[in-house]
């Protein structure tokens, strides 16, 4: 009996000890018993988060004599994070208004996070001014990752503030080291409300085994290759309504065709119809850009679109798995691709502002940038995992660092130089594009795929021009994009019900078009 009790007590003790066994080790350099906490909201993977924390826990105590621990928050993907931040600031501002005797109603709720014209109602202007003059906190210091469009939205709303890097660490933003812009994209905000840490490009990934099984064994090299009939039911794509990087990739496709056609109007039309074919070729749509490379590497799909970091990492793992002969490949598309920064920003009311600013500066420094792109075990490299994050600092692409970098032959400043992003063409329609791809393609994917399969079976697009005329129809042309974008925004005269009604009209019209295209293609095929 005593033995049994002893065994139970020992088991109970072991269970209680588990949290302590797996608790992070105390940071090195502890001096005064105090530990600061840095709260970061991010869609980044665990590898990036781990290496950031390990490096900064060594750096921070040396400078400030205090330990630092990271508290990562991840309520979902980028879209989920953006909604979470907006909702939290609205909740906190409402509390602020109630405490300071300011009105809170539908007008102030919609006005506080948007710049107001002088002609706007006084109540709206007062709410906006009060918010911008406040130090309202949501208990989070930094947002990291997600893309410049999302972080620029936070900045414009007033959710992000100037971190003061130019004022405090001007040497980090030397134009010879970190240019303010490249290829038409801002690498950091002139007002200091976000800073790019690494560069990202978009490319094509494919499984060499699946390609060899196809009649045409040519690997895809251009975006248009993914839209070819031979890839029907062989593509995997990320959901652009949930992944900012995938939406950006589709925007790049449209801009490339705008440039090639020397016409934004034609490029808009041809680009959206190219995307239709790619989505029609997809046998599945994932909710994460990272799942695309995993599905292709596993052979579930022949090809897909990928961010360079995911593509290069998966190629490395495939090489290890197959002893130097990877079955997965990643290539930059012919015709060039956009270079986009992966940014970080200081949020309004950051509870640990000093540490947050210091982390931004650290990650922009040569020390922090080596962490992004060096191999583990090299001087200044990560502890255990290669991050494969192309540095934003130009000086780390110098020949002297090639032997340390995980991808010594890869330079986004070179690969992206043939493409210039024009924000005035599609930048203001980024959110509209996300809505459009969801409404007229993903929500209609059954009808879209059925029409595309009927067209393929009838001999392809050239064989059925009547069917393609219906397949290629759009809810509106480029000249009407501004009005369409406005129709997707709430206002005093436009409610959520109105927006939903417009989306439904677009969706129903496109479904009818796809069904008509399928009908005409099958009729042509039966005659043939």
In the predicted model, what is the mean pLDDT of residues 107-133? 95
| 361 lies in some domain | yes
Range of the domain at 138: 78-198+341-415
Residues 330, 373: one domain? no
Query: Using a CB cutoff of 8 Å and minimum separation of 24, what contacts does 21-24 make?
Result: 24/69
Give the tens place of pLDDT for each residue, 44-93. 889 999 999 999 999 999 999 999 999 999 888 788 899 999 999 999 99
More confident residue, 207 or 337: 207
Which residues, including other chains, have CB under 8 Å from residue 430's CB and lie 6 or more apart? Answer: 149, 247, 248, 251
pLDDT, tens digit, for every residue of 196-255?
999 988 899 999 999 999 999 999 999 999 999 999 999 999 888 887 778 888 998 999
For position 412, what pLDDT does the model report?
86
Shared-domain flag, residues 463 and 498: yes
Same domain, 209 and 300: yes
Domain of residue 462, CATH code: 3.40.190.10
Q: Which of the four pLDDT bands, split at 50, 70 and 90, describes residue 17?
A: very low
331 sits in which H/E element:
strand 328-331
Domain boundary among 415, 440, 473: 415
Same domain, 228 and 174: no
Tokens encoding 16? 């209680």
pLDDT bin (cut points 50, 70, 90) of residue 3 is very low
H or E stretch including 482?
helix 481-487
Residue 528: what pLDDT?
Answer: 55
Q: Is the pLDDT of residue 469 over 60?
A: yes
Compute how many other C-beta atoms are within 10 angstroms of the C-beta atom of residue 218: 10
Contacts by 128-135, CB closer than 8 A, 24 or more apart: 128/158, 130/96, 130/97, 130/100, 130/102, 131/93, 131/96, 131/158, 132/158, 134/93, 134/96, 134/348, 134/349, 135/348, 135/349
Residue at a domain's end among 355, 381, 415 = 415
pLDDT at 108 over 90: yes
Split into its structural domains, the chain has a count of 2
Mean pLDDT of the chain: 90
Same domain, 330 and 441: yes
Predicted confidence at residue 416, as pLDDT, reads 66
pLDDT band at 527 (very low <50, low <70, confident <90, very high): low
Same domain assignment for residues 286 and 428: yes
Residue 39 lies in a domain: no
Residue 151 lies in a domain: yes
Least confident of 46-60, 165-179, 330-344: 330-344
Residue 266 has pLDDT above 70, yes or no: yes
pLDDT of 320: 76
Judge contact between 123 and 108, C-beta under 8 A: yes
Gyration radius of the chain's alpha carbons? 26
Residue 185 lies in a domain: yes
Does 186 reside within a domain? yes
State mean pLDDT over 494-506: 94
Determine the pLDDT at residue 15: 43
Question: Residues 82, 167: one domain?
Answer: yes
pLDDT bracket for residue 365 (50, 70, 90): very high
Q: At what angle do helices 289-298 and 308-321 cross, to 10 degrees?
A: 30
pLDDT confidence of 19, banded at 50, 70, 90?
very low
Give the domain-ending residue among 370, 386, 415.
Answer: 415
20 has pLDDT over 50: no
Rounded-to-integer distance, Cα 306 and Cα 301, Å: 13
The pLDDT value given to residue 33: 52
Are 119 and 262 in the same domain?
no
Nearest to residue 141, comparing CAs of 93, 84, 71, 191? 71
Report the pLDDT value the prediction gives residue 171, as an integer from 0 to 100: 96
Residues 188 and 328 occupy one common structural domain: no
pLDDT (0 to 100) of residue 29: 35
Higher pLDDT, 296 or 246: 296
In a domain, 216, yes or no: yes
Closest CA to 267 of 250, 255, 249: 255
Is pLDDT of 2 > 70?
no
Residue 336 Ramachandran class (φ > 0 left, ψ -120 to 50 alpha, else beta): left
Q: 166 and 242, same structural domain? A: no
3-state secondary structure of 71: strand
> Can you give the pLDDT at residue 315?
85
Query: Could you write out the DSSP letters of every residue in 395-430?
Result: GGGSGGGTTTBSSTT--HHHHTTT----HHHHGGGH
- What mean pLDDT comes out for the span 23-37? 53
| 250 within domain boundaries | yes
289 and 159 fall within a common domain = no
Same domain, yes or no: 311 and 209: yes
Task: Give the helix, strand, coil percentages of the chain, each rounded to 5.
Answer: 55, 10, 35
pLDDT by residue (tens digit) across 304-330? 998 888 888 888 878 777 777 788 999
* pLDDT for the residue 10: 47
Q: Does residue 429 sit within a domain?
A: yes
Cβ 131 vs Cβ 175: under 8 Å: no
Share of the chain above pLDDT 70, in %: 93
Contacting residues for 39 by C-beta, under 8 A, at least 6 apart: 71, 73, 139, 140, 141, 142, 351, 352
Alpha helices in 68-224 (DSSP H): 78-99, 106-111, 122-132, 148-157, 165-168, 208-212
Which region among 55-59, 261-265, 327-331, 435-439 has the lowest average model confidence (pLDDT)? 327-331
Q: Indicate if the pLDDT at residue 8 is higher than 80.
A: no
């Amino acid at each position: 009996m005593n033995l049994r009790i002893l065994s139970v007590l020992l088991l109970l003790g072991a269970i209680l000890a588990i949290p302590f066994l797996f608790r992070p080790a105390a940071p090195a350099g502890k001096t005064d018993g105090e530990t600061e906490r840095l709260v970061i909201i991010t869609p980044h993977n665990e590898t990036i988060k781990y290496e950031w924390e390990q490096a900064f826990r060594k750096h921070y105590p040396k400078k400030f004599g205090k330990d630092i621990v990271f508290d990562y928050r991840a309520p979902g993907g980028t879209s989920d994070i953006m909604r979470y931040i907006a909702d939290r600031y609205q909740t906190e501002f409402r509390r602020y208004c109630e405490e300071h005797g300011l009105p809170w109603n539908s007008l102030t709720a919609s006005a506080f996070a948007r710049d107001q014209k002088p002609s706007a109602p006084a109540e709206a202007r007062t709410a906006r001014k009060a918010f911008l003059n406040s130090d309202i906190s949501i208990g989070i210091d930094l947002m990291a990752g997600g893309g410049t469009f999302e972080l620029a939205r936070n900045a414009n709303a007033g959710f992000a503030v100037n971190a003061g890097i130019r004022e405090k660490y001007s040497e980090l933003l030397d134009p010879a080291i970190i240019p303010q812009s490249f290829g038409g994209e801002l690498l950091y905000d002139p007002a200091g409300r976000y800073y790019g840490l690494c560069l990202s490009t978009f490319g094509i990934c494919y499984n060499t085994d699946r390609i060899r099984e196809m009649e045409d064994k040519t690997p895809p090299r251009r975006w248009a290759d993914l839209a070819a009939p031979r890839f029907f039911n062989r593509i995997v794509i990320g959901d652009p309504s949930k992944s900012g990087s995938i939406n950006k990739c589709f925007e790049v496709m449209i801009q490339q065709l705008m440039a090639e056609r020397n016409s934004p109007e034609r490029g808009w039309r041809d680009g959206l119809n190219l995307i239709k074919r790619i989505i029609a070729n997809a046998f599945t749509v994932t909710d994460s850009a990272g799942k695309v490379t995993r599905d292709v590497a596993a052979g579930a799909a022949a090809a897909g679109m990928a961010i360079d970091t995911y593509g290069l990492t998966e190629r490395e793992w495939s090489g290890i798995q197959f002893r130097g002969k990877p079955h997965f490949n990643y290539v930059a598309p012919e015709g060039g691709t956009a270079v986009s920064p992966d940014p970080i920003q200081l949020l309004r009311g950051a509870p640990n502002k000093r540490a947050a600013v210091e982390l931004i500066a650290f990650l922009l420094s040569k020390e922090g940038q080596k962490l992004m792109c060096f191999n583990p075990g090299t001087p200044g490299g990560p502890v255990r995992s290669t991050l494969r994050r192309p540095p934003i600092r130009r000086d780390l692409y110098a020949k002297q660092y090639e032997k340390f970098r995980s991808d010594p032959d890869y330079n986004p400043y070179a690969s992206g130089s043939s493409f210039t992003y024009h924000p005035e063409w599609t930048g203001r329609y980024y959110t509209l594009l996300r809505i459009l791809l969801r409404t007229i393609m993903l929500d209609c994917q059954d009808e879209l795929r059925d029409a595309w399969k009927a067209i393929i079976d009838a001999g392809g697009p050239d064989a059925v021009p009547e069917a393609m005329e219906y397949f290629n129809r759009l809810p509106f042309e480029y000249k009407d994009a501004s009005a369409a974008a406005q129709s997707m925004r709430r206002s005093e005269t436009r409610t959520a019900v109105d927006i939903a009604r417009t989306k439904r009209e677009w969706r129903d019209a496109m479904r009818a078009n796809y069904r008509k295209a399928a009908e005409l293609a099958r009729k042509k095929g039966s005659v043939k």
